[in-house]
Amino acid sequence: MNQIPPFRSLSLRRSVLSVPAINLRALEKSHSLDCDAVIFDLEDSVAPENKGQARENLRAFFAGPPLAGKERVIRINSLSSEFGAADLDLVKALLPDAVLLPKVDEPRVIAETSDLLADAQAPEELRIWAMIETPRGVLNVGAIAESGCMPGARLDCLVVGLNDLRKETGVLPQPGRNFLAPWLMQIILAAKAYGLDALDSVFNDFRDAEGFDVECGQGRAMGFSGKMLIHPSQISAANRHFGPSEEEIAEAQAIISAFADPAARGLNVINANGRMIERLHLVQAEALVHKAHLISARKPA
């Protein structure tokens, strides 16, 4: 088996906003929004007759002021579609932080895209994100995630697409996502097994703040790193749910202090007020505090 790549930089991906590349107002607005990443969408939010104009909009946008402090991701159309090749040419020209591939249902797609980017001498920093949103994508998600560990592969993040998955499977959009939970957990497990981030699906009813809150809480509890969003009104709740709370930061700092105490030297397990903590909890605590630092260091939008 291939080695899992070294620990990747802990990118903040709590709130990942999709912006239709055809919508100039939304593109402009993305500068002022407090999300961690923006997905510039050339796929399903752009009508076939507008794909060319959407690419032109992105060329102009990338030539303008940089999108400070946010990851820039371009979602292209499938490489097997009539639009895919021109979209990928645009990615090679604009060099965003990542290209998001829709409807990935087998590992071959990751390998082929990695090769195309390497052939174009795109810098290694240009990563691949993969949408898992088809029945075969879910069935093959372990192999897809593993393909990210092959030499030269650029896979960095899996993004769930429940609109497509519901369409393909007939699972109804019900609160609690009971029938989807096994598939969501399978995707998260595959991502974690190979050192990738997993992002939860969009929530369509952007005026339903309460329902969104519940779904963010569920996504965080499941182990997602963040959520793909469709509307600016969803950003602050996603940042809150997927970022560490004050209590979690205080608890992590207490664990770090407990292990820094000379009395803990040589111990792998200690009693913290009636609760067992091990060095594995120290690793978790350090990662959480690191994430908290990244959040406070982020430039305000």
Ligand X SMILES: CC(C)(COP(=O)(O)OP(=O)(O)OC[C@H]1O[C@@H](n2cnc3c(N)ncnc32)[C@H](O)[C@@H]1OP(=O)(O)O)[C@@H](O)C(=O)NCCC(=O)NCCSC(=O)C[C@H](O)C(=O)O
Residue 36 binding target from ligand X, Mg ion, none, CB below 5 to 8 Å by type = none
Give min distance, CB of 282 to Mg ion, in A. Answer: 39
Find out whether 125 and 97 touch, Cβ atoms under 8 Å: yes
Instruction: Give the total of residues touching Mg ion (CB under 5 A).
Output: 3
**Binding-residue pattern over the window 202 to 241 for ligand X, x denoting contact by CB under 6 A:** x---------------------------xxx---------
Which three-class secondary structure state does DSSP give residue 91? helix
Find out whether 207 and 231 touch, Cβ atoms under 8 Å: no
Site membership for Mg ion, residue 164 (CB under 5 A): yes
CB atoms within 10 A of CB 216: 25
CA 117 to the chain's CA centroid:
20
Q: Choose the binding region for ligand X from 26-34, 54-62, 173-181, 277-285 (rule: CB under 6 A).
A: 26-34
In the complex with ligand X, the residue whose CB is nearer, 122 or 187, is: 187
Residues 28 and 115: their CA atoms lie apart, in Å, by 33
Residues 148 and 144: their CA atoms lie apart, in Å, by 7
Q: What is the DSSP string of 195-258?
A: T-EEEEPP-S-TT-HHHHHHHHHHHHHHT-SEEEESSGGGHHHHHHHHSPPHHHHHHHHHHHHH
Nearest partner of 20 among 33, 30, 34, judged by Cα: 30
Residue among 13, 15, 16, 41 that touches ligand X (CB under 6 A): 41
Site membership for ligand X, residue 97 (CB under 6 A): no
Give min distance, CB of 157 to ligand X, in A. Answer: 14
Site membership for ligand X, residue 104 (CB under 6 A): no
Nearest partner of 295 among 248, 256, 257, 234, judged by Cα: 248
Q: Choose the binding region for Mg ion from 120-128, 132-140, 151-159, 186-194 (rule: CB under 5 A).
A: 132-140
Residue among 36, 71, 156, 164 that touches ligand X (CB under 6 A): 164
Give min distance, CB of 250 to ligand X, in A. Answer: 34
Residue 30 binding target from ligand X, Mg ion, none, CB below 5 to 8 Å by type = ligand X
Interacting residue ranges for ligand X, rule: CB under 6 A: 17-20, 25-26, 29-30, 41, 44-45, 133, 161-164, 201-202, 230-232
Interacting residue ranges for Mg ion, rule: CB under 5 A: 133, 161, 164
